[in-house]
């Protein structure tokens, strides 16, 4: 056994041994520097893909939820729209001026004439705490006109149909010589936009 087991091997066996040893070293190097890093990278990418899919699923769920919320908001806006349209806003700092532009077509359509408007004192409403950004009030407008009893009733029916939030606070009809020229005095009240307390 002098010289070790390689010394005792035939030359062909020695070559085969060295070739096998070399291939084994190459295989180990390929595994360590090629296969193993690739496997680690594949595992990382697989985890990353799973995370991205989970994130995408979450985003899709949020989008579906957003569509539902938008649909609900659109329905609510549709329900609120008639009330917002009925809110009285001042024209040239006068609610009576705004009322004139809204009520004149109804009054004239009913046959009333000599129509005039004036602002009435505001009804005090309790304030919320904390104070809301937009305040609302009940605006009262006095309307005077001439016409018959039937024309006054026709005007109120039109008012009830076209402006359901407007209420009749007071009404007085003073008899005149001509039944068609009765003196009509009404105080109409409806919700109105008040002051903006903050931006």
Residues 6+ apart with CB under 8 A from 185: 142, 143, 144, 170, 171, 172, 173, 174
The full set of domain ranges for the chain reads: 1-86, 95-196
**pLDDT at position 147:** 93
Query: Which residue is listed with tokens 């060295």?
Result: 18
Task: State residue 153's pLDDT score.
Answer: 93
Average pLDDT per consecutive 10 residues, the chain (199 residues; last block may be shorter): 57 67 67 67 78 81 78 80 73 85 92 92 71 75 93 93 88 88 91 65
Q: Kindly give, in sequence order, each residue whose CB lies less than 8 Å from that of residue 127, ignoring residues fewer than 6 positions away.
A: 135
Locus of tokens 């004139």: 100
pLDDT value, residue 146: 94
| Contact between 135 and 195 (Cβ < 8 Å) | yes
For residues 122 and 140, the answer to whether their CB atoms sit within 8 Å is: yes
Q: Domain 95-196's class?
A: alpha beta
pLDDT at 79: 76
């Amino acid at each position: 056994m002098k010289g070790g087991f390689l010394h005792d091997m035939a030359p062909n066996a020695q070559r085969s041994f060295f070739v096998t040893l070399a291939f084994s070293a190459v295989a180990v190097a390929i595994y360590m520097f090629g296969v193993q890093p690739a496997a680690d990278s594949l595992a990382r990418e697989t985890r990353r893909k799973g995370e991205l899919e989970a994130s995408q699923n979450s985003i899709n769920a949020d989008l579906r939820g957003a569509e539902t919320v938008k649909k609900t908001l659109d329905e609510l806006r549709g329900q609120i729209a008639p009330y917002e349209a009925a809110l009285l806003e001042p024209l040239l700092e006068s609610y009576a001026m705004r009322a004139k532009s809204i009520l004149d077509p109804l009054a004239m359509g009913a046959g009333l004439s000599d129509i005039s408007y004036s602002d009435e004192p505001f009804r005090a409403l309790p304030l919320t705490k904390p104070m809301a950004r937009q305040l609302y009030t009940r605006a009262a407008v006095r309307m005077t006109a001439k016409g018959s009893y039937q024309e006054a009733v026709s005007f109120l029916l039109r008012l009830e149909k076209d402006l359901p939030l407007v209420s009749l606070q007071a009404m007085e009809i003073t008899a005149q010589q001509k039944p068609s020229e009765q003196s009509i005095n009404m105080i109409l009240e409806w919700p109105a936009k008040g002051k903006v307390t903050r931006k």
